[in-house]
Amino acid sequence: MTRLEETILRTIALILVPVVAGLTLYVKVLWADNEELRPEFNGYVAPRKLESIVNFAKNISVTIECQGELGSGFSFELDENYDFATWNFEVPDGERSILLTNYHVVEKCDKEDILVEVVISEDESISGELVGVDPENDLAAILISKRLDWGVATPYKMRSGYWVLAAGSPFAMEGTVTFGNIIRIEDQRIYTSASLNKGNSGGPLLDNEGYVVGLNTGYRAVAQNLNWAIEISRVCKKLATCEYGELSPDI
């Protein structure tokens, strides 16, 4: 190699090294920013594919009818990958789904020991059996002989400001969804800005990945969009036995 060629190569290296280093740093920054905007890394952001979560929420949600009173419910399973929990009632093999709802939605049926009516769609309804109740925590479990899509508990710790979706059947309007964020979490009660109305009780509250956060329960009529849900971990109080005392240990 001649001295001229060596000089040219050194010059090129002096130019390329900082350029490559700069590009590498730029790519790293872009990647970090991209991760911060991905739902799986950031509970504050809305889902990138909102339609998928909306459709999923509708697929797992049902309308519950008890003695003329209407409410909501949803198909739910204990996630064997995270929950380390078992139901405190017998779960048969075969075609079946476990539905969660609020106890106050099915209270009359429990006291009179009758079946509840589960409306799956406009064209399909099925009788459901109350297999577990927890009046103190306003929870109930219903068994139906049909397999539906199901939700599982979120494995992440929820925080104020996180994005949420509330689904249900307010005023018998099946398949409704509203969006909002968590305002506050207090004593296993999640306050949210996702609008709720009469009939939403018992429907699922989902996070931005489609995990179940809680059960929609009530709203303050005198407040402006102040609603609340029961944390899904309350299932462990009576309906299920959880190894760690709650569903989905924080990760």
d(CA 99, CA 91): 12
Q: Which residues contact 211 (CB under 8 A, 6 or more apart)?
A: 151, 152, 153, 154, 155, 156
Report whether 74 contacts 203 (CB < 8 A).
Answer: yes
Which residue of the set 72, 75, 201, 233 is catalytic?
201
Q: Which two tokens stand for residue 39?
A: 């739902």
From the CA atom positions of the chain, what is the Rg in Å?
24
Which residue of the set 75, 138, 207, 248 is catalytic?
138
To the query of whether residue 193 is one of the catalytic residues in this protein, the response is no
Helix (H, G, I), strand (E, B) or coil at 77: coil
Which residue of the set 104, 207, 233, 248 is catalytic?
104
To the query of whether residue 79 is one of the catalytic residues in this protein, the response is no
To the query of whether residue 138 is one of the catalytic residues in this protein, the response is yes
List beta partners, residue 86. Answer: 241
Report whether 241 contacts 85 (CB < 8 A).
Answer: yes
Active site residues: 104, 138, 201
